[in-house]
Amino acid sequence: MTKIGFIRHGSTPWNIEGKAQGWCDIPLNNDGIVDANRLAQRLLSEDWDIIYSSDLLRAHHTANIIAEKMMKTVYLDSRLREIAGGLIEGTTEEERILKWGSGWRELDLKIESDDRVLSRGMTFINEICEKHPNENVLIVSHGSFLKKIIKKLIPNEPFEESLFNTSITLLQRDTFGWNCPLFNCTKHLVLTNKEVT
């Protein structure tokens, strides 16, 4: 049985400001670094074989923090990038409405299509399952991208909640398909500073 842990990267300045990030290479903020360390501490007590990450800085940095504590190598893959935001990258919802109106989602603003996102995402997931049968794989990526992949793999669950920064979602694959025993979990964020160090 293959187990995948989907992790959303730590917080960034643009997360706080409500700006669409897409493929813009935004670094973690201080909270993002602290929270990634808390997640890494939590994962030390679990059994993980390998770590893959988006090549964008915010995900890569989160993965490196985890990998350093676990003494693992991070394998980068551009297919794990966030959905490309086209013309909306770097803008807030308010700015988008001012610029394009409340119906901006219906306009062609060069945002990556669902078909393209799912194509690259599912190609990656299928490769992982072939390369790592019966292993536990961590994947550090981005909120909107991960939600689309999770909903594709488990279409009959609602999963409407946005993924929190440094959350982990577990998916397990067996002969009957995929199931999700843990969704959007951030219990590590209640750890004390003493437990993190």
Q: Just list the catalytic residues.
A: 9, 142
Q: Between β-strands 2-8 and 168-174, what pairing exists: parallel, antiparallel or unpaired?
A: antiparallel
Phi/psi of residue 131, each to 5°? Answer: -75, -30
Give the separation between CA 39 and CA 6, rounded to whole angstroms: 12
Give the separation between CA 160 and CA 128, rounded to whole angstroms: 25
Provide the angle, in degrees to the nearest 10, between the axes of the packed helices 30-43 and 57-70: 40
Give SS3 for 168: strand
